[in-house]
Amino acid sequence: MKLNDEEKAMLAGEMGPAKQWAIDHQMKVGRVFDAEDLVPVSQAHMMCDPEAAGEAGAAFLEGLADKGARVAVPTITDPRGVDLTHYMPLGQTEEMAALQRRLIDANTRMGILSTDTCINYQTIMPPVRGEHVAYGDTGVVIYSNSACGARSNFEGGPSALAAGLTGRTPRYGFHLDANRRATRRFRVSEQPKGLTDWGLLGAVAGKTAGSYWAVPVIEGLEVTPTSDEMKHLGAAMASYGSTALFHLAGITPEAQKLADVGGEALPVEHLDQDMMNAMRSRFGARGDKPDVVVFAAPQLSIVEMSQVAALCEGRRFKVPLFACTAPQVYPDAVRMGFVEKIEAAGGKVLVGTCFYQQFAREIGEANGWTRLLSNSAKIVNILGGYGYQPALASMEDCVASAEAGEIL
């Protein structure tokens, strides 16, 4: 790989052992993907929850911090695994909490910002079109690539950390113009209505595309999705298809016209209502009794918090309800009375976590939860692998079901 003088100095150890490890790691990743060189990145976003990192990950980060490692570009974190600020064990153990504290301490010593969010594109510093970044959360990557026009691959935890330490990532994949052209052309016949419908559209498109390297372009939309609708669309597409980039014809920045992304040359594939209904039917049924209702994956924006709060007002839940939001959103949600309304109904707001990243299997076993209800197409896809029998419904029906004690 071609290296400039600064990168050669890192590799020679002239900037310390941490940067030497990091640049060597990035070069190895780059060679796997035939990258010719490294591209400077402006920011990095890394997963660092205790379930993913484990004891070995914590020890590795502590070792880097002990060697004086410091990030070279702003580096932020995905949701943590334990809500330590508003501590509620949920069946989690003190060992889990202690591991989380070690990870936070090591990151802090390296200058990593514990933002604990998967919606940084809504809360912190959204990337702009053409900006090269190194993001680790799939929902963050697909939103930033597609809605913002930024450039990132799915970065593994070590790679995101290495990008933060060096300010570099290998120039391959979606950092290259050629790989951002559409490869599949989908046309919708029914217009999505609400977050769950946008998530279902993403699930069907992702499952149909079925490849990280596939780039769907979707046409036929008569409405422009809101930021929250776009994030549910992208999060589900990434979850069901490993998709990292999509285009919406006439909407997203790189596809103002179908021809901008080469879509006019592709055969049309139809995503119809039967496909949406078939996807929906995989998850639960009316009359089933849920054990827990969860709003998460992605974390809730301030707008979603206001919507959940309005639906909770005047209700009393028979089923535990959890809403996961970002630390940047929580203070506003408190100030505006949204947290009070949710918790007055018997719900609980968790801060800086996402349900499936906080030892979801152990939580389910500790509380006897099997049937989980959510409005997120992403989370019902993931939690089927954690021992749950998930069900999917609209936000309105999720809240009403928590009150009724059965899926409505």
Task: Give the pLDDT confidence of 370-396 residue by residue, as tens digits.
Answer: 999 999 999 999 999 999 999 999 999
Q: Tell me, yes or no, whether 253 and 342 share the same domain.
A: no
Rounded Cα distance, 75 and 141, in Å:
15
Listed residue (337, 306, 319) closest to 393, CA to CA:
319
Please give the backbone phi and psi of residue 64, each rounded to the nearest 5 degrees, phi first: -65, -45
| CATH number of domain containing 376 | 3.30.499.10
Question: CB of 356 within 8 A of CB of 330?
Answer: no
Count: domains in the chain:
3
Within this chain, do residues 251 and 166 fall inside the same structural domain, yes or no?
A: no
* pLDDT attached to residue 87: 67
List, for the chain, all residue ranges whose pLDDT scores fall below the cut of 50: none
Same domain, 236 and 318: no
**pLDDT at site 247:** 98
* Residues 307, 242 share a domain: no
Give CA 240 to chain center in angstroms: 13
**Cα separation of the two ends of the chain:** 58
Q: Tokens 């004086």 label which residue?
A: 68
Residue 284's pLDDT is what?
78
Q: What is the pLDDT of residues 58-116, one digit of tens each?
A: 999 999 999 999 999 999 999 999 998 876 778 999 999 999 999 999 999 999 999 99
Q: Do you know the residue count of the chain?
A: 408
Note whether residue 349 is domain-resident: yes
Residue 89 has a pLDDT of: 79
For residue 353, give the DSSP letter. Answer: B
State the number of CA atoms in the 13 A half-sphere of 49 facing the CB: 23
What phi-psi label fits residue 40: left (phi over 0), alpha (psi between -120 and 50 degrees) or beta? beta
Same structural domain, 126 and 256: no
Residue 328, domain member (yes or no): yes
For residue 224, count other CB atoms closer than 10 A to its CB.
11
Cα–Cα distance measured from residue 376 to residue 215, given in angstroms and rounded to the nearest whole number: 22
Residues 47, 145 within the same domain:
yes
* Alpha-carbon gap, residue 175 to 261, rounded angstroms: 15
CB 325 within 8 A of CB 349: yes
Other beta carbons less than 10 A from residue 101's beta carbon: 14
Task: State how far the Cα of 361 lies from the Cα of 230, in Å rounded to an integer.
Answer: 28
- What does the alpha-carbon distance between residue 46 and residue 167 come to, in Å, rounded to a whole number? 13
The answer to whether residues 246 and 111 belong to one domain is: no
- In this predicted structure, what is the pLDDT of residue 312? 98
**Cβ-based burial of 340 (10 A; exposed 0-12, middle 13-18, buried ≥19):** middle
321 and 389 belong to one structural domain: yes
Residues 6 or more apart whose CB falls under 8 angstroms from that of 217 comprise: 182, 184, 185, 186, 246, 247, 248, 249, 255, 258, 261, 263, 266
Domain region containing 111: 5-176
Q: Is residue 361 part of a domain?
A: yes
Boundary (domain end) residue, out of 246, 280, 314: 280
Q: Is the peptide bond before 327 cis (omega within 30 degrees of 0)?
A: no
Does one domain contain both 167 and 25?
yes
Give domain status of residue 285, yes or no. Answer: no
Is residue 143 classed as helix, strand or coil in its secondary structure? helix
The Cα–Cα gap between 294 and 308 comes to: 11
Residues 359 and 302 in one domain: yes
- Report how far residue 313's alpha carbon sits from residue 297's, in angstroms, rounded to the nearest whole number: 23
In a domain, residue 249? The reply is yes
Whether the Cβ atoms of residue 155 and residue 46 lie closer than 8 Å to each other: yes
Could you tell me if 165 and 113 lie in one domain?
A: yes
Within a 10 A sphere around the Cβ of 282, how many other Cβ atoms?
13
In the block, residue with structure tokens 């205790």:
50
